[in-house]
Structure 1
């Protein structure tokens, strides 16, 4: 019995060590580029099974899914994407919108000859996931969105974040950015300052089952998260206790398990009206 326990302990230790050494977000063994819609998109592919598209937040990259990829790669073909203007993706355009990024996702799936995928989005990635389901319903099997908002103001965002964004806008709006990197950072900032603009009524057109998630101390107002859930035809809601915006990091084990449960559920009951 002791030998078996020692063996499994060593096995778990080895798996943990491997997970720690994988350079997610900058992994030559898994990284690929796809040119879609005039943009060179970087993504990393892991595992086999049904396709699962991972979408990160503002200013982030596929590296943000270090605690997500190892779990889902056991059961899914995980595609961790760097959105346009983020990470290792190359985007020289002046404009940026959530609609662009949603259309990029659909084009990428088409180029990879994938009819549809499960989608998991965090923050801006959650917004993109909702817009992907709206604009390209055939591409989304189910979606999970954590920390997403539908419009950019103090009715959707917590006051602290909104004040921080207002200060950032005031400081940056009069500057002339000659450094391409800073110009790109400003473009990414303006994405959340100016967008999205998705009316609650539009959510009724989403056909894919949705899992709406937020932390109980998220930067998204809880009533806004609940309103998103209430306006979706088929949805689950989870307000994660003792969690901020980074639900998938702060409570990785529970988060991964619940999202996987949602993806694998055979039926999604409509919420009570």
Structure 2
């Protein structure tokens, strides 16, 4: 079982496929199993590195304070453990915040940057509505089973259309999520790290090619945040997933994976030409 030690904790990671390295960073309270649908197809093209952030999955779950900066250091440590000097980095939601910080603090480790359904944070970000905020806070404060907590979050993670027409897909994803439940303290510590995240005034310092992906029906992190990232990062492209909610990786998985593959291959070729 591949484990690396960093900052006094153990991080679980996996490596799939061969080729250009792609580090994928998952979001709030989710572990690497949430990449289940995308992983096989992406591993046909790239050396895909996935891992469990602190507080989730098979990584350590300390009850001390977490920060996005700390988790970016740990993402770098996963690259070290996988013997990868630099990688294309894809982070969604909280993982996108970690990916921003990784690109800012360790730019030589990032070949290109893909930011999904995420935010620059701070006072400039567009906040979700009150119902979303209350659902998030109750997720850590009201005792429920992992299944109940997962279903309670469905209205803020998926678009109404997807909820109505693809309940089986949602149930399948929830089953995957709760194989290794995230404890309440892990959820809350990650959430507090997200709330403290603020990269807004640093985004212009990101010099790597970037792809911003966002669903236009995202309630958790409204699409205006994705547009803000695209405006602030110089060499970036914005792809809006029409009709998709926060978990566009479930709602539009194949289309988004195809766009991701094309983006990485394009920038892999450009890097080789520059050399």
**TM-score normalised over the length of structure 1:** 0.77
Alpha-carbon distance between aligned partners in 2 of 1:40 and 1:170, rounded to the nearest angstrom: 27
- Corresponding residue for residue 204 of structure 1: 204
Q: Is there any run of 5+ residues in structure 1 with no aligned partner, and where?
A: 1-30, 173-179, 269-273
Alpha-carbon distance between aligned partners in 2 of 1:169 and 1:69, rounded to the nearest angstrom: 29
Alpha-carbon distance between aligned partners in 2 of 1:165 and 1:223, rounded to the nearest angstrom: 20
**1:190 pairs with 2:165:** no
**TM-score normalised over the length of structure 2:** 0.76
Give the direction of change, closer, same or farther, for the CA distance of 1:234–1:168 in structure 2 (3 Å limit).
same
Matched residues, number = 229
Alpha-carbon distance between aligned partners in 2 of 1:168 and 1:257, rounded to the nearest angstrom: 33
Is the CA contact 1:156–1:220 (under 8 Å) kept in the aligned structure 2? yes
**Shift of the alpha carbon at 1:37?**
2.7
Is the CA contact 2:117–2:223 (under 8 Å) kept in the aligned structure 1? no
**Shift of the alpha carbon at 1:246?**
0.9
RMSD: 2.4
**1:265 partner SS:** helix
**Shift of the alpha carbon at 1:112?**
2.8
Give the direction of change, closer, same or farther, for the CA distance of 1:112–1:122 in structure 2 (3 Å limit).
same
Q: Is there any run of 5+ residues in structure 2 with no aligned partner, and where?
A: 144-181
**1:88 pairs with 2:52:** no
**Shift of the alpha carbon at 1:171?**
6.7
- Corresponding residue for residue 139 of structure 1: 109
**Shift of the alpha carbon at 1:186?**
2.9
Per-residue CA deviation, residues 51-76 of structure 1 (Å, 9 max, x unaligned), is 11111110000011011111110011
- The answer to which structure has the higher helix fraction is 2
